[in-house]
Structure 1
């Protein structure tokens, strides 16, 4: 099913009971965030805020806030069907003579539908603000979290063109509103927009930019997708393929760029590479932590075009699970066939919400020889944006990668710390606050597959090794009833599958390392495979919260190490805050937490919103 625009999709969701309307006046500063956050975390509906104080335009949130709505937005019954759709396209065969080629015609027709289609007029240009008419404060841009540096556009489709090759790019980069006609442009060092800006600087030119807000939900998704560098494949082409029809575009009114004809708003303008960059942030980011202020380019808005009655779509990111988790899962499914084309032993893979995309990747494989887990992990590190992965866990083909309880059991039972763990280095997401350097840090591979004799130091012959898998040494987890006390430890518990979870109020350098050594030497460590040291704000009763904290707060090369224990060896994960006295020169960011006053306000007004009590 094709949705020509956001409002068509909203209409369908409303018919299905998946979208509700709030007519009570609400604030774009924090209040909308608190409501939307509660809804997405409880699997609630999308919501339209019809009266936003200070703006004439309504706000819609949570359009892809569940797995089912994301699949519906992308035109498939289930997100797993995206893999079959792509596998159908890439499986072009040239054998079989003329009949074989004729059999490919339907697939080739699909591929020919990829380029966008230029139209002369468009709904998004029904109203035009130019020059002094431009006033971004009239648009209900949200201030999402208490420490945010200001309001941020959170679903922008930022369009640029390579000044040398003419190739188009669309990416989703947050934009902080700086004035009535300027915003920040959060182009990180690895992003295509950064390369385009550098080429414009070398040519002594301004870089034209157009920012679409709204449009076909498939295009919004496409702007987030990690597309491979294939000539002719861009975000418009991906959206066209998902829809089975060429995507309609129109030329901008003040920039020579094609923009989505069916968007709600278009911000047109430029970035001048000769200008000084501006301070942008803080921003409550998808990691669940604030990214701290930094310097980024300034975007000048020369025109705003829109529909006569537009709706402003927005999203929020923060502590998982959030709406972006379903977009990430869509990318998993979409690019699984491509990964399998390069690494055919891959059965499935998953980037769980606790890993906020890049921090954790779980991959299952058909294992045929020793060392294959490391072969696959190294191959993944070389695939596009997978280079940012921090921890890769490799499991056997029968393990369901989306069942994280099962995955962590496999890790504790089959991965011996030190023997079956490998640390390396590479590029890291620049939003990672714990890495040893900006955009550069440690990585960890955990081989949780069933081991071959060669992998455990066995003297079994190679012939016998080919005949059958050899299980690791017997591991008997143990839950101690008497846990040791230690300075700064607030709460601790052990799990039946070999994990020791600790919340530490760290006040001095080296405290986490001392804790790891003291706990490893204690009798309670017998039967423990992993000691997870978290910060004081972590709920150790919630394994998802524990792993979210750990994966955000470790550089594996520095903070994850085997320690000799009562039971052999355990892997100590230091997920506590790092201090300047420990050589950590950057400021450590806070976790995102909503103001208690806003929480109480939303509690008190929930009945006025007209939303069901079960999502409160």
Structure 2
């Protein structure tokens, strides 16, 4: 089925018993988000809140809450889009399979938006304060749009081919924003709208911006699709949606999807910023208040019967995990084409996506050598850090396919065990310091700045990994050593007390003490605030280790050395404690969770769901 708007999608999900209506009054402050998160965690249905306090508009959530439901939504076009992407990955496939030709031609035709003079979106106007005021977490700075589709065009190349459609969070209220006249536009580093904004600033002109909410589900996926630079997201939206997206174009204005539920029109003045945030984010912490561009609101449009779609974010997995899984399946075959020599990548959701990237690559530079060592893998790693969204990765861990043709970086325990067996810690750690990093990651030395590291492993095993907790003598403040997995230990450490961009003498002392023990089988030791929590599961271990550490600042080593600016050790120790400068972790509100529990009692709307 082709969904030309959000209503047709929601109606179909309800007809197929994949959507539940909640007619009881629901507060968009904390409660709606808490319900969505609980239903997602239970693998539950999409939700339609028909009675939302403070607004006349219904809200829909968890639409993409399972991979199966996401595939169901795009079932009519999925094979065609897969064929288009496969053809790009292997052009010879098109010649070999003429049966693909009609579908590819139709998909190409659908990529072109269709200009229309009017549409449902033009039916009504409203104001920012009349929209649903979703607040997901107690410390959020105000109400936010969590599924916004932010549209802009290049000032030097206007039109669809020079457009960008991205999902950048929009703050509707709070802080210093003028009610109904201003909204905050938070776009992170390495985002397409940034290039348009830079052009406008250089020209000393305003940048027109439209924010769409709702509309064809394909636009939501298109806005987060990691497309190559120069390919407009609007084109992909048409291919995935199975129809030419009708766009209302008024003279002198940016186009608007005719079937959108809402559109906030406005512009960004050059040089104007205001504090935006805090906001609970997908790493599992708050992103704090920082200056970001301000959008001056010109008009708020909505269709008849408009529904406000939303999600909430927090420590993964969350609904955006399903976006990532769906996109991975679509684009897996393109990886070797985009990154030469790389066969598979895995941006690890449990670690917050950008903090940890695993990859299987080739090691072919010196095939006649008696022993493989990382060479091409280093090139692969630098390629991953040099383009697309993988450039935001912090820890990039690569293994050579030649050592194990069956190795997959999606089997995280086996992959890390394979790497730790082969990692030469005197040679195979490559740091990049004082570089750009993900805006939402507070482990670095400042906003948008920190370090990255490549762990590259190739050749025969260098060690046998330890499989039991060894005898350890720990200095004061360190305790509770735990065996986590082969080659990996976790310790509890004292509360961090150092300023940003500073090594901790207590960690250096720990390394000196541990160097006296026999830890040859444990190349990775993690120090956390709570070793028991960290070692309780792989999800906990990955989240704590890679979201709470900056590679250059927080990697220490037993028998550490620096030779000609290259650092190495015999076992590395990662300081994964919460730091004095980190943002706080997200914590649920007990009173709200109790109310959610009550919605699951017999006769209530979530009975049998959570």
CA contact (8 A) 2:266 2:298 kept: yes
CA contact (8 A) 1:210 1:269 kept: yes
Of residues 242, 245, 255, the one that matches 2:243 is: 245
User: 1:297 and 2:293 equivalent?
Assistant: yes
Gap runs ≥5 in structure 2: 174-178, 499-503, 561-568
What's the counterpart of residue 398 of structure 1?
406
Using the TM superposition, give the Cα deviation of residue 85 of structure 1 relative to its aligned residue in structure 2, in angstroms. 3.9
Q: C-alpha separation between the residues in 2 aligned to 1:547 and 1:364? A: 19
Judging changes above 3 Å, is the alpha-carbon distance between structure 1 residues 288 and 95 closer, same or farther for their aligned structure 2 residues?
A: closer
What's the counterpart of residue 145 of structure 2?
153
CA contact (8 A) 1:64 1:326 kept: yes
What's the counterpart of residue 86 of structure 1?
85
TM, length-normalised to structure 2:
0.86
What's the counterpart of residue 309 of structure 1?
305
Alignment of 1:126-275 (within 5 A): 126-129=123-126, 134=127, 136-166=128-158, 167-178=162-173, 179-230=179-230, 233-251=231-249, 256-274=253-271
Of residues 423, 430, 453, the one that matches 2:439 is: 430
User: 1:479 and 2:483 equivalent?
Assistant: no
Q: C-alpha separation between the residues in 1 aligned to 2:51 and 2:493? A: 44
Q: C-alpha separation between the residues in 2 aligned to 1:493 and 1:515? A: 19
User: 1:446 and 2:447 equivalent?
Assistant: no
Q: C-alpha separation between the residues in 1 aligned to 2:229 and 2:270? A: 25
Using the TM superposition, give the Cα deviation of residue 272 of structure 1 relative to its aligned residue in structure 2, in angstroms. 1.9
What's the counterpart of residue 176 of structure 2?
none
Using the TM superposition, give the Cα deviation of residue 488 of structure 1 relative to its aligned residue in structure 2, in angstroms. 3.9
Say which is worse superposed, 512-521 or 22-31, in terms of deviation. 512-521
State the Cα deviation string for residues 415-460 of structure 1 (Å, max 9, x = none): 24333332224431122211234323221222244x0xxxxxxxxx
What's the counterpart of residue 22 of structure 1?
22
What's the counterpart of residue 330 of structure 1?
326
Using the TM superposition, give the Cα deviation of residue 84 of structure 1 relative to its aligned residue in structure 2, in angstroms. 4.9
Say which is worse superposed, 103-112 or 233-242, in terms of deviation. 103-112
State the Cα deviation string for residues 6-26 of structure 1 (Å, max 9, x = none): 222222222333221212211
Judging changes above 3 Å, is the alpha-carbon distance between structure 1 residues 303 and 575 closer, same or farther for their aligned structure 2 residues?
A: same
State the Cα deviation string for residues 137-160 of structure 1 (Å, max 9, x = none): 221131011110011111111111
CA contact (8 A) 1:23 1:609 kept: no
Q: C-alpha separation between the residues in 2 aligned to 1:227 and 1:289? A: 27
TM, length-normalised to structure 1:
0.85
Judging changes above 3 Å, is the alpha-carbon distance between structure 1 residues 287 and 176 closer, same or farther for their aligned structure 2 residues?
A: same
User: 1:352 and 2:348 equivalent?
Assistant: yes
Gap runs ≥5 in structure 1: 452-470, 580-586
Using the TM superposition, give the Cα deviation of residue 126 of structure 1 relative to its aligned residue in structure 2, in angstroms. 2.0
Judging changes above 3 Å, is the alpha-carbon distance between structure 1 residues 418 and 37 closer, same or farther for their aligned structure 2 residues?
A: farther
Q: C-alpha separation between the residues in 1 aligned to 2:204 and 2:559? A: 59
Of residues 363, 386, 389, the one that matches 1:385 is: 389
User: 1:410 and 2:414 equivalent?
Assistant: no
Say which is worse superposed, 233-242 or 423-432, in terms of deviation. 423-432
User: 1:598 and 2:567 equivalent?
Assistant: no
Q: C-alpha separation between the residues in 1 aligned to 2:328 and 2:360? A: 13
What's the counterpart of residue 117 of structure 2?
120
State the Cα deviation string for residues 40-66 of structure 1 (Å, max 9, x = none): 223222211121111111111111112
CA contact (8 A) 1:68 1:78 kept: no
Judging changes above 3 Å, is the alpha-carbon distance between structure 1 residues 358 and 5 closer, same or farther for their aligned structure 2 residues?
A: same
Q: SS state of the match for residue 331, structure 1?
A: helix
Judging changes above 3 Å, is the alpha-carbon distance between structure 1 residues 486 and 141 closer, same or farther for their aligned structure 2 residues?
A: farther
Using the TM superposition, give the Cα deviation of residue 609 of structure 1 relative to its aligned residue in structure 2, in angstroms. 4.4
Judging changes above 3 Å, is the alpha-carbon distance between structure 1 residues 341 and 483 closer, same or farther for their aligned structure 2 residues?
A: same
Judging changes above 3 Å, is the alpha-carbon distance between structure 1 residues 45 and 482 closer, same or farther for their aligned structure 2 residues?
A: farther
State the Cα deviation string for residues 107-128 of structure 1 (Å, max 9, x = none): 4553343221112221222223
Judging changes above 3 Å, is the alpha-carbon distance between structure 1 residues 71 and 203 closer, same or farther for their aligned structure 2 residues?
A: same
Q: C-alpha separation between the residues in 2 aligned to 1:401 and 1:564? A: 30
Alignment of 1:466-505 (within 5 A): 471-480=460-469, 482=471, 484-489=473-478, 491-505=480-494
Judging changes above 3 Å, is the alpha-carbon distance between structure 1 residues 570 and 64 closer, same or farther for their aligned structure 2 residues?
A: same
Q: SS state of the match for residue 171, structure 2?
A: strand
Q: C-alpha separation between the residues in 1 aligned to 2:181 and 2:391? A: 36
Q: C-alpha separation between the residues in 1 aligned to 2:91 and 2:468? A: 54
CA contact (8 A) 1:503 1:539 kept: no
State the Cα deviation string for residues 336-369 of structure 1 (Å, max 9, x = none): 3333114453332211212322111122235434
Q: C-alpha separation between the residues in 1 aligned to 2:518 and 2:181? A: 61
- Cα RMSD between the aligned structures? 3.0
Q: SS state of the match for residue 140, structure 1?
A: coil
Q: SS state of the match for residue 410, structure 2?
A: coil
Q: SS state of the match for residue 582, structure 2?
A: coil
Q: C-alpha separation between the residues in 1 aligned to 2:585 and 2:542? A: 14
Say which is worse superposed, 193-202 or 220-229, in terms of deviation. 193-202
Using the TM superposition, give the Cα deviation of residue 89 of structure 1 relative to its aligned residue in structure 2, in angstroms. 4.2
Say which is worse superposed, 295-304 or 343-352, in terms of deviation. 343-352
Q: C-alpha separation between the residues in 2 aligned to 1:600 and 1:445? A: 44
Using the TM superposition, give the Cα deviation of residue 31 of structure 1 relative to its aligned residue in structure 2, in angstroms. 0.8
What is the number of equivalent residue pairs in this alignment? 574
What's the counterpart of residue 111 of structure 1?
108
What's the counterpart of residue 563 of structure 2?
none
Of residues 477, 481, 495, the one that matches 1:506 is: 495
